[in-house]
């Protein structure tokens, strides 16, 4: 079994790439073959994920497991180090899970210009990048995987996207690249000041002692830019609504469900454990931007007339809660943040799926032209309602456990942070939830309630088809299950979060 354990994470990362190569060698005309290869590849990868879930030692979720440590670039002392702990495991599984569902959903939902071969190939390359980011334990390796997702997403938006796709694609690319260029400079600074190593665990041990405080602050600033753009935090969020709106449905789902988490994950995995002192100084600012993001995102939602754009802005708000949880630097807050990442991935991913299917049927997402979805396609309408409820944080569904504890954590932030300030943040964030209920219900009302508009009244609108059933059911189930048994996730993350926060005396 041990030999398999050693291979597990490498397989999780590179299996999708193997599938992609096989597809590359298959002629383009054989579309069904391509779909089957992609499905089998993602399923096989998910099976590896299940294996990891089974073999994972939950009592020691604070330790990195399934470790791999091999030589990679000797000259700069960067190594091929992989490992999962309680924080990365849920995100890794989420990434594998969503990729399977995206391939299933794609079965009869290929946006123009069709070409399933190229489209599914990109999904597989994306999966390699995402899985790799969640398991990499070396900064350079992390950086490479972090960047690998850029190109496929650029092409997915730019080739299969909507009207403004070229603008949205390059904007997405340039924003992220700018952030990651600063990030790599910070990594290099950590390398030089922190004992000539890129291994995250070694840096955690030495960095805060050996690096002067002022330098720590600067390095954290570089990391902050890299990760905050990816999250995206206000005021770096402007690429997100464009990218989401223009991306094809599958692209939006992957973007919302996983890509945004690369940023928040970076904070939890790299920035805070390595530079806890700098994190404490930066936390009030991060928290401030997070609550601005919550309110700004919510107000942005209320101003939208396009359903997809509305969901995109709601992402800005939701990621604001995640960042607020992180900014408290307490185990409570960061547990909530990790939960929030998974919950937002499932719920917003689902919302984008539904929006995609609505667009498929009505060829528009203008809220003023929609209406009466519950009459024309009742099942889909109910699912939209369910997701809206989950998204606004209804207790009993997954969204609640991401938001509520994050707000609560702000009541009592880590020692050294201003309580008064964070309590203000708490109040603002709580007001944000009211807005959230407002815009989500408003969207639901406009799209699903009432009677169909004249434009579509006479048209038969088909309800859900089998790929939609297959792709959506697991996500909906998980939203409910995690909502009812949040400990499934909290139990996993808690120990790991405590370790990440060791510098703060085991959390607040």
Partner 1 sequence: MEPVFSAPTVDFHAFGPEIVLVVVLGVLLLVDLVFEERARWASSTIAGIGLLAALVPVLTLAIDGGDRTLFGGAYVVDNFALVLKGLFLVAGYVTVLISTDYIGDGDYYEGEYYFMLLSSLLGMTVMASARDLLSIFVALELLSIPAYLLAGWRKRDLRGNEASLKYYLLGVFASAVMLYGMSLVFGVAGSTLLSDVGAAVSRGPRSAPVITVGIVFIVVGFAFKVSAVPFHTWAPDTYEGAPTPITAFLSVASKAAGFVALVQLVFIGFLGRDDVWAPMFWVLAAVTMTVGNLIALRQTNVVRLLAYSSVAQAGFILAPFAVAADIPAARGGVGSATGAVVTYLLIYSAMNLGAFAVVMAVARKTRSGEIASYGGLFQYAPGLTVLMTIFLFALAGIPPLAGWYAKFVVFKSLLDAGTAAAIALAVVGVVNSVIGLFYYASVAREMWMSPVPDGQEVTPVRVPAALGASLALCAAATLAIGVVPNLVARLGNLALFGALP
Cβ at position 156, least distance to partner 1 in Å: 11
DSSP state of 110: P
Q: Are the beta carbons of 58 and 489 closer than 8 angstroms? A: no
Q: Does the bond joining 284 to the residue before it have cis omega, within 30 degrees of 0?
A: no
> Does residue 116 belong to the site contacting partner 1 (CB under 8 A)?
no
Q: Cα-flanking dihedrals φ and ψ of residue 199, to 5°?
A: -70, 125
Quick one: which of 7, 188, 421, 431 contacts partner 1 (CB under 8 A)? 188
Cβ at position 75, least distance to partner 1 in Å: 4
Structure tokens at 20: 């992609």
d(CA 377, CA 464): 8
> Does residue 181 belong to the site contacting partner 1 (CB under 8 A)?
yes
SS3 content of the chain, % helix, strand, coil (to 5): 75, 5, 20
* Interface with partner 1: number of residues (CB under 8 A): 35
Quick one: which of 34, 165, 230, 244 contacts partner 1 (CB under 8 A)? 165
> Does residue 28 belong to the site contacting partner 1 (CB under 8 A)?
yes
> Does residue 110 belong to the site contacting partner 1 (CB under 8 A)?
no
> Does residue 431 belong to the site contacting partner 1 (CB under 8 A)?
no
Nearer Cβ to partner 1 (117/359): 117
Quick one: which of 58, 192, 382, 485 contacts partner 1 (CB under 8 A)? 192
Cβ at position 47, least distance to partner 1 in Å: 25
Where residue 479 falls (left for φ over 0; alpha for ψ -120 to 50; beta otherwise) is alpha
Q: How far is CA 57 from CA 52, 66, 469, 501, in A?
A: 9, 10, 34, 21
Q: Considering only 36-44, 150-158, 285-293, 320-328, which stretch makes contact with partner 1 by CB under 8 A?
A: 150-158
> Does residue 184 belong to the site contacting partner 1 (CB under 8 A)?
yes
Quick one: which of 108, 166, 210, 368 contacts partner 1 (CB under 8 A)? 166
Q: Are the beta carbons of 78 and 141 closer than 8 angstroms? A: yes
Q: Which of residues 35-94 bind partner 1 (CB under 8 A)?
A: 71-76
Collapsing DSSP states into helix, strand and coil, what is residue 113? coil
Q: Are the beta carbons of 328 and 408 closer than 8 angstroms? A: no
> Does residue 171 belong to the site contacting partner 1 (CB under 8 A)?
no
> Does residue 118 belong to the site contacting partner 1 (CB under 8 A)?
yes
Torsion of CA 35, 40, 42, 45, to 10 degrees: -160
Q: Are the beta carbons of 429 and 324 closer than 8 angstroms? A: yes
Nearer Cβ to partner 1 (20/347): 20
Q: Are the beta carbons of 257 and 113 closer than 8 angstroms? A: no
Quick one: which of 18, 22, 39, 144 contacts partner 1 (CB under 8 A)? 144
Cβ at position 212, least distance to partner 1 in Å: 13
Structure tokens at 89: 């495991």
Interface residue list for partner 1 (CB under 8 A): 28, 71-76, 113, 118, 140, 143-144, 147-148, 150-151, 154-155, 158-159, 165-166, 169-170, 173-174, 177-178, 181-182, 184-185, 188-189, 192
């Amino acid at each position: 079994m041990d030999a398999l354990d050693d291979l597990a994470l490498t397989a999780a990362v590179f299996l999708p790439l193997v599938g992609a190569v096989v597809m590359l060698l298959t002629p383009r005309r054989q579309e069904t073959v391509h779909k089957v290869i992609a499905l089998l590849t993602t399923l096989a990868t998910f099976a590896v994920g299940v294996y990891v879930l089974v073999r994972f030692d939950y009592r020691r979720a604070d330790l990195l497991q399934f470790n791999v440590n091999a030589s990679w670039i000797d000259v700069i002392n960067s190594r091929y180090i992989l490992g999962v702990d309680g924080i990365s495991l849920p995100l890794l599984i989420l990434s594998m899970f969503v990729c399977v569902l995206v391939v299933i959903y794609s079965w009869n939902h290929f946006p123009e210009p069709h070409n399933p071969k190229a489209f599914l190939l990109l999904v597989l390359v994306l999966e390699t990048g995402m899985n790799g980011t969640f398991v990499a334990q070396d900064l350079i390796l992390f950086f490479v995987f972090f960047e690998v997702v850029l190109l496929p997403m650029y092409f997915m938006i730019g080739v299969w996207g909507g009207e403004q796709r070229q603008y949205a694609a390059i904007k997405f690319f340039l924003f992220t690249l700018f952030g990651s260029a600063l990030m790599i400079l910070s990594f290099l600074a950590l390398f030089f000041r922190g004992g000539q190593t890129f291994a995250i665990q070694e840096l955690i041990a030495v960095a805060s002692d050996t690096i002067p405080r002022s330098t720590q602050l600067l390095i954290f600033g570089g990391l902050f830019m890299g990760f905050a753009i990816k999250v995206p935090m206000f005021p770096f969020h402007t690429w997100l609504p464009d990218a989401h709106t223009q991306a094809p449905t599958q692209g939006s789902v992957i973007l919302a469900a996983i890509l945004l988490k690369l940023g928040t994950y970076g904070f939890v995995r790299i920035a805070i454990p390595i530079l806890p002192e700098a994190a404490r100084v930066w936390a009030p600012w991060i928290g401030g931007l997070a609550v601005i993001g919550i309110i700004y995102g919510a107000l942005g939602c209320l101003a939208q007339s396009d359903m997809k754009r509305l969901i995109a802005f709601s992402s800005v708000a939701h990621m604001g809660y995640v960042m607020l949880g992180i900014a408290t630097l307490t185990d409570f807050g960061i547990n909530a943040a990790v939960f929030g990442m998974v919950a937002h991935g499932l719920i917003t991913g689902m919302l984008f799926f539904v929006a995609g299917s609505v667009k498929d049927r009505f060829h528009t997402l203008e809220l003023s032209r929609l209406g009466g979805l519950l009459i024309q396609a009742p099942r889909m309408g109910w699912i939209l309602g369910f997701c809206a409820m989950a998204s606004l944080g209804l207790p009993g569904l997954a969204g609640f456990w991401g938001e509520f504890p994050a707000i609560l954590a702000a009541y009592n932030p880590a020692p050294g942070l201003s309580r008064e300030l964070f309590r203000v943040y708490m109040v603002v964030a709580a007001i944000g939830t009211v807005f959230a209920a407002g815009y989500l219900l408003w969207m639901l009302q406009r799209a699903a309630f009432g009677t169909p508009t004249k434009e579509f009244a006479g048209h038969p609108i088909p309800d859900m088809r089998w790929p939609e059933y297959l792709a959506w059911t697991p996500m909906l189930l998980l939203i409910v299950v995690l909502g009812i048994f949040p400990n499934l996730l909290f139990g996993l993350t808690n120990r790991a979060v405590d370790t990440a926060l060791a510098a703060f005396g085991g959390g607040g």
